[in-house]
Amino acid sequence: MAKSNAVEDFPPIAKHSFFPITIKDTTLRHTAAGAAAGLLSSVLVCPLDVLKIRIQNQVHKNGVVPKYHGTISGVQIIWKEEGIRGLFRGLGTTTIAYIADRALWFAAYNRIKTTLATSAGRSPEDAGTLVHLNASVAASMLTMAFVNPLWVIRTRIMVQSTVPGETVRWHYNSTWHALSSIIKEEGGSALYKGITPSLLGITHVAVQFPLYEKLKVVMRKLEHKKGRYAEDLSATSILLASAGSKMIASIVTYPHEVLRTRLQTQSARKLLTHIPDKICEGPNCPPDTRPPGPPPAPKYAEPKYRGLVHATKVIMREEGWRTFYRGLATNLIRTVPSSALSLWMYEVLVQRLGHVEE
């Protein structure tokens, strides 16, 4: 009895389907596919990204009623108060960040995976969990060094609100304005705020991508049982593998995202007292002058969180452990579908960009 190939809900990633562009260089092909996947992700996740970051940035203490309670109500509030522009606040920066992040990450991941597998005498397709783990961690560290400034800028722009009466510590008009303002007012090191919890967040990809590779093996075996022996996985299998791995990784490693948001959205120490340069004597001195003599010592407001460990202790003491999982539902709704679709697009493009028509 002949075995049927029509067992999937979506068409397979056909290696011999026509595609108008061919990229022979493997690294460049993965870079292009990753960039396209990043572009798709940025558009899909931006509204829920805005809401997730605002939920994470809310302080829950001293009877303060949080503004955003859940996904649906949060989206409704932003839509009512700020319109569609509020939901897509920071889209430009988000798009740049996602494209750069995904392009660099996938190129690095596959190059490192191939190198490690080859040195172990194995093919990249049969690299093993340890190779996938090491490659994902190394690629994440490399990507973070280049892209973290964009994530800081994106986070700050997203927590800005145009609602009258809501105070913000900054107001940026664009990605470039944010970049120049942060460097001028806080120094270049401010662009790497939250880098410690971001490094902790490497555990996310250390869980997600080895699990994703493992689930692809499982899905391939299931396809074989159903009578499909094509070289490439079906779209259904890729979507299920990517969604499952993303969900598990997000649940396990979510607290670091809250810590990263809190650290990225706090300013450096701020001058509380204005000390005039002009000196004046007498009863009729204008307010922009000071008495003669040495100027008083300036007073500064120190940042609330002095690092990852200190932030963890303060949040636990003031708000409780549940704060570390605030916004998780929004995050899952945001990341799981977008991750599934972007990984599917990535796999499709890697296959088809490498196909040469005969």
Over range 165-177, report the average pLDDT: 73
**26-268+305-353: CATH homologous superfamily?**
Mitochondrial carrier domain (1.50.40.10)
Contact 152, 193 (CB under 8 A): yes
Cα separation, 93 vs 154, whole angstroms? 6
Average pLDDT, the chain: 81
**Alpha-carbon 7 to chain mean position:** 35
* pLDDT given at position 293: 64
Which has more confidence, 115 or 279? Answer: 115
pLDDT of residue 170: 60
Length of the chain: 358
- Higher-pLDDT residue of 287 and 69 is 69
Most confident of the following: 69-73, 104-108, 172-176? 104-108
pLDDT tens-digit profile of 299-336? 556 778 888 888 899 989 988 888 898 888 888 988 89
Task: Indicate the domain borders of the chain.
Answer: 26-268+305-353, 274-302
With cut-offs at 50, 70 and 90, classify the pLDDT of residue 65.
confident
The pLDDT tens digits of the residues spanning 205-248 come to 999 999 999 999 899 898 888 877 666 788 889 999 999 999 99
Average confidence (pLDDT) over 349-353: 86
Q: What is the pLDDT of residue 142?
A: 93
Query: Full-prediction pTM beyond 0.95?
Result: no
Instruction: Retrieve residue 342's tokens.
Output: 């972007």
